[in-house]
Structure 1
Amino acid sequence: MSGENQRIRGGIPRVSNRVMNLAHLLDQAARRFPDRDGFVWGERSWTWAEMSARAQALAAALRAHGVEKGDRVLVHAKNCEEMWISLFATFRLGAVWVPTNFRLVPDEVAYLATASGAKVFLCHADFPAHAAAVRAASPNLALLASFEPAAFAETSVGALIEAHAGAEVALADVEYDDPCWFFFTSGTTGRPKAAVLTHGQMAFVITNHLCDLTPATTERDASLVVAPLSHGAGVHQLVQTARAVKTVLLPGERFDAEIAWTLVQEHGVSNMFTVPTILKMLVEHPSVDRYDHSSLRYVIYAGAPMYREDQKYALKKLGPVIVQYFGLGEVTGNITVLPGALHEAEDGPHVKLGTCGFERTGMQVQIQDDAGAEVPYGQQGEICVCGPAVFAGYYENPEANAKSFRNGWFRTGDLGFMDPEGFVYITGRASDMYISGGSNIYPREIEEKILTHPAIAEVAVLGVPDPTWGEIGVAVCVPKAGAVVEEGELIAWMGDKVARYKLPRKVFFWEALPKSGYGKITKKMVREELEARGLVSAEGLRS
């Protein structure tokens, strides 16, 4: 469209659909605050000017290897400075950043390489098997480089940056719908799909996050990264770059709550992005009481609803600084928000228990029935959303696009309802619901009840086949440290808390629940573990 006087509906002319290249955010930070630290990792730090220079050098190196606008740059790495630099280098060229979850196995990463049509592969030195799998699946790669030197790579990202030090690379011209990021879904119901995020969409997302999640954020703030930059944490840190906020990485490969609280105190961290399981670990670790975290203004949790008992405990430890948002990767988190001021520490008649908040600024949420019609307030249906934060669609996947969009609405696959004030309540995933004796049962409701038991730390409820009832409920519980609870005792305790037909028929007690690479408890992984332990088969419970 650019360069021509195009006509759109209603006869209104559109001369251009050009937007800012997102790499300009780093340029802006470097111009305004060249000598302020922009990135801290262990004992090392980089100023905004250094980060901008390194991003331009890597962009020059990628360009020298044939990377052009629209090409895909596959990145498989643990959180590190060079991984983050690769995002801005890729954006600068108008290419597409394709990060993976570093916990994926080699064959899964090889699939992402072919599914995305990656032109180059940047792989952490710790993953030679992944590099070999991608090389075998994509023999025509223009470049295989490693984060830190590695024998499997042609060169390292550090060497590429050093070889092109001082290079100046102009920002590629981009339009609103030009892709910048393939955000792969977690693949909980099959093969991961590449959600196409665009420069124009992400510019709205950044503005929206600043408006709804971390208002009044400035260069004097600091943000701690406790989750993989490949997904939600990466979006959050891109938002922080827009305000020249210092990003602080955990120094080790594994999450460590005490180190996290040490860094909060040391850097005066004011915000962080988490998922409920990580937030739970942070506030339940005894170190939370040994370090000063009064600098925190926004502790954002997303990815899954937080159980009420966990929410109350987090408020007790941190105060009214936790912020919830609901949103899938396809909508980059922009569906609802529950600000800190609306998080109540105690239950009461005025508390909207279980809500994930109200519509994000500029977004519209509608609860729809199976035919796509809006349902009345209080009635359950599928949560659907429209607005500028919705992604462009799945890359080369028309079948998935047809299933996910209806009449312009994106279908989240989550079930819920809306109250008359516009607050949304999630009752579960459509795929989590099971039918027992003809009745629809939503595990979320049962899980909330079980977690009020003083001995239970975590729980997952799911349906398994049953020859009599069609399906029955199974609960997998993790007791709190030192606690002991018996199956019969727990089921009896639940007797007056949920309807009898909703009671789990079997309860298992494990030391831990399996979690995805992003810290989520997924029913798919719990079911796979039940099968691996020989407790459940395709026919149902094993005796």
Structure 2
Amino acid sequence: MDHGEGRAGSAAPRGGIVPCTKRVMNLSHVLRQAARRFPEAVGFVHGDTTVTWAEMDARVDAMTAGLAARGIAKGDRVLVQSKNCLEMFESMFACFRLGAVWVPTNFRQTPDEVAYLATASGARAMICHADFPDHVAAVRREAPAITTVIAIGAAPFGPTYQSVVAAHRGAAVVPADVEHDDPCWFFFTSGTTGRPKAAVLTHGQMGFVITNHLCDLMPGTTHADASLVVAPLSHGAGIHQLVQTARAAKTILLAAEKFDVAEAWRLVETWRVTNLFTVPTITKLLVEHPSVDAYDHSSLRYVIYAGAPMYREDQKRALAKLGKVLVQYFGLGEVTGNITVLPPADHEPEDGPNLKLGTCGFERTGMQVQIQDESGRERAPFETGEICVAGLAVFAGYYNNPEANAAAFRNGWFRTGDLGHMDAQGFVYITGRASDMYISGGSNVYPREVEEKLLAHPALAEVAILGVPDPVWGEVGVAVCVPRPEATVSEAELLAFLDGKVARYKLPRRVFLWDALPKSAYGKITKKMVREALEARGDLPIAAVLERSA
């Protein structure tokens, strides 16, 4: 397009700036930096195994050479199906170093689900833990383009990761040259509203994300720090540990696959852990388990939680037990967590005039948040709308999915699908997912507001409220509550507790009491899973339940 600034027929630069390629750091360089500066320092711990930065860097070089020898090149996708382990963590850096794209799965997904990810990503190679032979079989059946499979541990479906590393030990590998928009990671969404989509993360974007996390979430992090992993490395925890590597802070894995709270606190004491990445449900487990008092956790500076806001009553218990170490961030995988932050200083341990109840914090450094109406216009302070975001942490788009990209962006803003408002000081408040809101008698109901009120009841540990069809009101609320151990409470008592605390149209029609709420592989309570469980128990539709109980 000619802007009239150059010769006729030439592509004139805007503002006199000549476009050029934007070369950026290959993300694997953060591991090389750690190995150069602290070669003999421990970088990774898993059970009795400790690995130094120099050793990990050499192993990554060897795996990079091994993948290259098998025809994997820059831009190729490598599917990784594995529980948390050293090899999985290294595979991320090997893919980055090669210029290939890391495609981690949620290891709890079924073989057919993983086979779908293989075809959707166009993967050409697979690294798979030996515990998942059925996943390899499904992938080979559905994705014949995958001709290379490497096994983590002894397995019949391919050469072992260790043998590949041993065969290429000592290889001198030069990281691939990359530009800002070169993809490095396909971050698959959870798929709670349909098939998972591959959010394309790039080298340039992730370089910004590392800097932003260090600036906003963990200021002052150095090689003297240590980070405990209590979530799958395939998603948010993987990004968190990539950030740790950029400061040569050691990564510590739980020894066993099953989450053991006492073991987590023992590791915090043993390794003087300074930060960990969690979701609210895991933080709640850590704080309310008796082992929290059995081990020294005074080394903790940052307990970072994301994935969902933490209910106020849970916040207060965590602050009372751990001190002012909580850090909340709000952000989707598509924005790699970089939307808002609520640092320790803004986590008030007691209710009072300084408390901003329900906020998820303010805009992250270098990011802009806007609350928009359905046409994309900015809402006034305190008006509810969709939370939209712009900035360098926003992903490049969904891979091979133009329809999803068209729906996700409007006027350059990424649409989160979350509803909320912003106060006059710029603090953001999440009302809920747009899909969680329901309309009862013509009035909008945002479940989170009612959930917060219910959780103030001392007998309750967890609550989920969702809207269900109703022939009279259009939709009504249903609450599913989990009582605390040894607590006794009834549906009538809880409805009476809510009466007068929220408008009557917001009151749930029914309250169900369960032993536990279903959770995703990342420890999050999802309304889709709660709805499915209600249907499986025969508790939907509500009209039929009321008729049965009449």
Structure 1-normalised TM-score?
A: 0.98
| 1:30 equivalent among 21, 30, 35 | 35
- Counterpart Cα distance in 2 of 1:49 and 1:14: 38
1:3-152 pair list within 5 angstroms: 8-151=13-156
1:184 and 1:103 map into 2 onto residues whose CA distance is: 14
Residue 436 of structure 1, CA deviation: 1.1
CA separation in 1, counterparts of 2:497 and 2:452? 14
Letter in 1 for 2:423: D
Structure 2 match to 1:244: 248
Note the C-alpha offset of 1:166: 1.0
Q: Which residue of 1 aligns with 2:366?
A: 362
Question: Deviations for 1:103-127, whole angstroms, at most 9, x for unmatched residues?
Answer: 1111110000000001001111111
Distance 2:151 2:65 in 1: 17
Q: Is the 8 A contact 1:466 1:540 kept in 2?
A: no
C-alpha spacing 1:16/1:140, structure 2 compared with 1 (3 Å): closer
Among 426, 429, 432, the residue aligned to 1:425: 429
Q: Which residue of 1 aligns with 2:415?
A: 411
What letter corresponds to residue 110 of structure 1 in structure 2? A
Aligned AA (1:182): F
Asked if 1:225 corresponds to 2:229, the answer is yes
Q: Distance in 2 between matches of 1:145 and 1:527?
A: 39
Deviating more after overlay: 462-471 vs 211-220: 462-471
- Aligned with 2:124: secondary structure? strand
Pairing 1:488-527 to 2, within 5 Å after superposition = 488-527=492-531
Letter of the 1:331 partner, please give it. V
Deviations 1:137-186 (A, max 9, x none): 012312112111112x1211111111111112110000000000000000
Task: State the secondary structure of the residue aligned to 2:172.
Answer: coil
How far has the Cα of 1:357 moved from its partner? 0.4
Partner of 1:175: 179
Identity of counterpart residues, as a percentage? Answer: 71
Superposition deviation, residue 15 in structure 1: 3.0
Instruction: Tell me which of 259, 263, 268 is aligned to 1:259.
Output: 263
**1:165 aligned onto 2:169:** yes
- Change in CA separation of 1:508 and 1:8 when aligned onto 2, cut-off 3 Å: farther
1:375 aligns with 2:379: yes
Q: Which runs of 5+ in 1 are unaligned?
A: none
Q: Detail structure 1 runs of 4+ shifted over 4 Å in the superposition.
A: 5-8, 537-542
Instruction: Give the equivalent residue in structure 1 for 2:3.
Output: none
Alignment of 1:316-355 (within 5 A): 316-355=320-359
Q: CA deviation at 1:489?
A: 1.1
CA distance in 2, matches of 1:333, 1:437: 36
Question: Does the 8 Å contact 1:6/1:14 carry over to 2?
Answer: no
- Cα distance, 1:7 vs structure 2: 6.3
* In 1: Cα distance, 2:432 partner to 2:112 partner: 31
Q: Distance in 2 between matches of 1:539 and 1:238?
A: 50
Which amino acid is the alignment partner of residue 23 of structure 1? S
* Residue pair 2:311, 2:452 contacting (<8 A) in 1 also: yes
CA offsets, 1:174-225, max 9 Å, x none? Answer: 0000000000000111000000000000000000000000001100110000
Partner amino acid, structure 2, of 1:61: G
Measured in 2, the distance between the counterparts of 1:144 and 1:533 equals 41
CA distance in 2, matches of 1:132, 1:6: 52
Shift of 1:522: 0.4
Q: CA deviation at 1:427?
A: 0.6
Following superposition, the deviation at residue 8 of structure 1 comes to 4.5
Q: Contact 1:7 / 1:14 at 8 angstroms: preserved in 2?
A: no
Q: Is the 8 A contact 1:466 1:541 kept in 2?
A: no
Q: Distance in 2 between matches of 1:249 and 1:133?
A: 29
1-side partners of 2:19 and 2:79: how far apart? Answer: 34
**Aligned equivalent of 2:5:** none
Offset from partner CA, 1:264-293 (integer Å, 9 cap, x none)? 000000000000000000000001011100
The alignment covers a number of residue pairs equal to: 538
The answer to whether the 8 A contact 2:123-2:145 is kept is no
Kept after mapping to 1: 8 A contact 2:122/2:145: no
1:192 corresponds to 2:196? yes
**Contact in 2 for aligned 1:90/1:96 (Cα 8 Å):** yes
Q: Secondary structure at the match of 2:211?
A: helix
* Alpha-carbon shift at residue 11 of structure 1 (Å): 2.9
Counterpart of 1:458? 462
Post-superposition shift, 1:468? 1.3
Q: Give, in angstroms, the shift of residue 541 of structure 1.
A: 4.9
Q: Which runs of 5+ in 2 are unaligned?
A: 1-9
What amino acid maps onto 1:403 in structure 2?
A
Residue 430 to residue 540, structure 1, CA distance change in 2 (3 Å): farther
Q: Which amino acid aligns with 1:334?
A: N
After superposition, the Cα gap between the structure-2 partners of 1:7 and 1:238, relative to the gap in structure 1 and judged at 3 Å, is farther
* Letter of the structure 2 residue corresponding to residue 102 of structure 1: F
Q: Retained in 1: the 8 A contact 2:479–2:512?
A: yes
